[in-house]
Amino acid sequence: MKSTGLNFHHLYYFWVVAKEGGVTRAAERLGVAVQTISMQLSLLEQSIGKSLLTQQGRRLVLTEAGRMALGYADQIFLLGEQMQEALAENDVGRTIRLTVGISDALPKLVAYRLLEAVLQMQDKVRLTCYEGKFESLLADLALHKLDLVLTDRPVSPGTSLRVFSHLLGECAIMLFGTPALAQKYKQGFPASLNNAPLLMPTRNSAVRGQVDQWFEMNELHPDIVGEFEDSALLKTFGRSGLGLFPAPSLLAKEIEMQFGAVPIGELPGVQEQFYGILSERKIKHPAVEAILSAAHHSLLKPA
């Protein structure tokens, strides 16, 4: 017979076991005996009426019910941690916490442009940013470790993750280079790009395929001297004069100021898109809403 209430202490033990990947590691983290963990899990499964974990060889894995329970537990305990942090603030009730994941392929200057909106809010915002790979950030978003992911691509329609994409804007792509390279390759552009040294994002970047296709359509064959996952690192090498590099046209002024590179020419038809990815949580985050709203009224005009 199921109990009329959920024991959150038992749920917390289950949550730690799922996160640690086993009862032994969970017991070490919590500083309790393995038998205690096992007993708490058993009581939780009895109260719910379903098995949450099952043995698969030497590993303990989640059942379908366990995966569902873990999703809810993630939200419950994350909100609990956020409540404790919020209550610990001197200015209780007036500080909004925003945790954002930024794809390593997204230009950091674009990320800053998109996040500017939260710095202009009337409420005080504590912003925490993490950089990482697209897939890793989506996993953290699905587990509600992040409030928002900023990236250069939408989520694949076939994904099993409960997340969805918002197109924040798009921008034309230009080639940039140091003044010395600009003087050499600007005249006769784009034919001048044959055998020109080029720094490119890796194929993990959404814009890379478009740039490759543009060169192929125009029968141009530049010399790719470097490939970079991190957009800021690519521009840093570009500042040294190692090669030309593609970047959004709306960042031309910032690129010249920070990296000493100037526009060589635009790549017609090549567009970089910027997305905000959210999880399917019912609670609306005011800072996220501010970012989405501001993006549609800024230079990042949606298609």
Environment class of residue 293 by beta-carbon count within 10 Å: exposed (0-12), middle (13-18) or buried (19+)?
exposed
Q: Pick from 62, 84, 106: which residue ends a domain?
A: 84
Q: Same structural domain for residues 203 and 229?
A: yes
| Tally of domains within the chain | 2
Q: Pick from 84, 104, 124: which residue ends a domain?
A: 84
10 close to 47: Cβ distance less than 8 angstroms? yes
Q: In sequence order, what are the residues at sequence separation of 6 or more whose Cβ sits closer than 8 angstroms to the Cβ of residue 268?
A: 214
Q: Same structural domain for residues 66 and 175?
A: no
Q: Same structural domain for residues 130 and 258?
A: yes
Q: Same structural domain for residues 76 and 141?
A: no
Percentage of the chain with pLDDT > 70? Answer: 90
Closest CA to 207 of 110, 267, 275, 272: 272
149 close to 136: Cβ distance less than 8 angstroms? no
Q: Same structural domain for residues 248 and 222?
A: yes
Q: What integer pLDDT is reported at residue 248 of this predicted model?
A: 92
Predicted confidence (pLDDT) per residue in 3-27, tens digit: 446 888 888 888 888 888 888 888 8
One-letter amino acid identity for 1?
M
CATH value at residue 99: 3.40.190.290
Q: What integer pLDDT is reported at residue 302 of this predicted model?
A: 39
Closest CA to 259 of 177, 186, 201: 177
Q: What is the pLDDT along the chain (303 residues), one digit of tens a residue?
A: 344 468 888 888 888 888 888 888 888 888 888 888 888 888 888 888 888 888 887 778 888 988 888 888 888 877 776 666 666 655 555 678 889 999 988 888 889 888 988 888 877 888 899 998 888 898 888 878 888 999 998 988 877 777 888 898 888 999 999 999 999 999 999 999 999 999 999 988 889 999 999 999 999 999 999 999 888 899 999 999 999 999 999 899 999 999 999 999 999 999 998 999 988 654 578 888 888 888 766 655 433
Task: Give the pTM.
Answer: 0.64
Q: Same structural domain for residues 41 and 173?
A: no
Q: Same structural domain for residues 80 and 13?
A: yes
Q: Same structural domain for residues 158 and 259?
A: yes
Predicted confidence (pLDDT) per residue in 254-275, tens digit: 999 999 999 999 999 999 989 9
53 lies in which domain range? 8-84
Q: Same structural domain for residues 163 and 278?
A: yes
Q: In sequence order, what are the residues at sequence separation of 6 or more whose Cβ sits closer than 8 angstroms to the Cβ of residue 208?
A: 200, 201, 202
Q: Same structural domain for residues 76 and 188?
A: no
